[in-house]
Amino acid sequence: MQTGRKILFTDLDGTLLDDRKNITPGNQAAISEALAEGHIIVIATGRPLSGTLAAADRLGLTRDGCYAIAYNGGLIFDLGRRETIYSRTIPRALVRQVFDLAFSRNIHIQTYSNTHVLAEHDSEYLQDYRREIGVPFQIVPDVARALLEEPCKMLAILYDAHAKLEAFRQELLRIFPDRLDCFFSNDNYLEIVPTNVSKGLAVRWMCSHLEIPLENSVAAGDAQNDISMLEAAHVGAVMCNAFPGVAEHGDYVTRADNNHDGIAEIIRRFIL
């Protein structure tokens, strides 16, 4: 075990990134200082790998000591070496079943290749997602046939219809109890992943893989899909701008929000 090194797991949107999807100079400086001292920085996000890599490149988090957890824990990527070190996927036949069920409920659903968002119908949901995440998309007649590799997740999206998405979540868990897990990243986004996938499980896997004691881990987040990560890490640091109900799952709430160096506050208090 490397008892001197510490590891920070940080969500992107609403946590490391400000409301304009940029990193503040204060957060950037604190991260650089932590890396210079040999600590580890891990981006942990629900974004697809392509979008995660684009964000890491833009933020300068592509050097040794930088890692990325994408798809809410479905894939872990070594940003310094540019290689996948862990992944869990959904069989194509199961993707087809879930897509058909979503269509029968009039719910938008999409999945992901290594480079694109894949959907069978264009929609306002897909276009809004593309603009927010900055990932290209493809409309295909059959996602199961279009996928060259099994995907790490699917995403169901509805606006102002959380109860309908919750009913869909319960239906998926009832039909596929040992194959899928489902949770919300916000009220409009239902994340659909293989069982035994979460940011929290990725925290434990990363600490074991890098031989860093769990006691040296810190997680920072603001949303529902960050809860497992906040609970798994030794210190769960919740952003003061977090969604309602998230703070009760952490150990510390920041004074500064994501627009005012909240991650720098966490790094200087718990890492440096």
Report whether pLDDT(27) > 90. Answer: yes
Mean pLDDT (the chain) is 96
CA distance 38 to 43: 16
Closest CA to 8 of 61, 55, 53: 61
Q: Percentage of residues in the chain with pLDDT exceeding 70?
A: 99
The 10s digit of each residue's pLDDT in 138-192 is 999 999 999 999 999 999 999 999 999 999 999 999 999 999 999 998 899 999 9
Tell me which fold the domain 92-194 belongs to: 3.30.1240
Band of the pLDDT at 83, cuts 50, 70, 90? Answer: very high
**Strand-pair category, 7-10 with 217-221:** parallel
Q: Which letter does DSSP use for residue 20 in this model?
A: T
Buried b (16+ CB within 10 A) or exposed e, 247-263: bebbebebebbbebbbb
Where are the CATH 3.30.1240.10 domain residues in the chain? Answer: 92-194
The 10s digit of each residue's pLDDT in 197-239 is 999 999 999 999 999 999 999 999 999 999 999 999 999 999 9
Closest CA to 69 of 91, 87, 92: 87
The 8 Å CB, 24+ separation contacts for 246-254 are: 246/221, 246/222
Residue 2: what pLDDT? 63
Residue 67 tokens read as 């890692």
CA distances from 197 to 73, 79, 225, 229, 236 (A): 6, 20, 11, 11, 19
Strand, coil or helix: 207? helix
CB atoms within 10 A of CB 205: 16
For the full predicted model, state whether its pTM sits above 0.85: yes
Residue 141 tokens read as 């007649």
The 10s digit of each residue's pLDDT in 248-258 is 999 999 999 99
Residue 134: what pLDDT? 86
Where are the CATH 3.40.50.1000 domain residues in the chain? Answer: 7-87+197-270
Band of the pLDDT at 1, cuts 50, 70, 90? Answer: low
CA distance 226 to 44: 9
CA distance 88 to 96: 17
* CATH class (in words) of the domain with range 7-87+197-270: alpha beta
